[in-house]
């Protein structure tokens, strides 16, 4: 997750033409990582 955050910060400071698309993809990946962590916690509680 730290690598994604660093990549996102680097992109914010660049002038790439696909910057917005990539930033949105990184944000989505970060959200998915949070969801996976929450699901793992819920699964642990069930077992």
Q: What distance lies between CA 30 and its chain's CA centroid?
A: 2
Q: How many domains does the chain have?
A: 1
Q: What is the CA radius of gyration of the chain?
A: 14
Residue from 35, 30, 37, 33 nearest 8 by CA: 30
Q: What is the per-residue pLDDT across 4-41, written as a single tens digit (0 to 9) for each?
A: 889 888 888 888 778 888 989 999 999 999 999 999 99
Q: What percent of the chain is modeled with pLDDT above 90?
A: 53
Question: Global pTM?
Answer: 0.71
Overall residue count recorded for the chain in this entry: 47
pLDDT at res. 39: 98
Give the structural domain span for 9: 2-46
pLDDT at res. 28: 96
Distance CA 35, CA 10 (A): 24
Instruction: Place 47 in a pLDDT band, splitting at 50, 70 and 90.
Output: confident
N-to-C CA span, the chain? 27
């Amino acid at each position: 997750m730290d690598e994604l955050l660093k990549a996102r910060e680097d992109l914010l400071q660049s002038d790439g033409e696909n910057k917005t698309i990539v930033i949105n993809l990184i944000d989505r990946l970060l959200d998915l990582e949070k969801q996976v962590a929450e699901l793992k916690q819920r699964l642990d509680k069930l077992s």
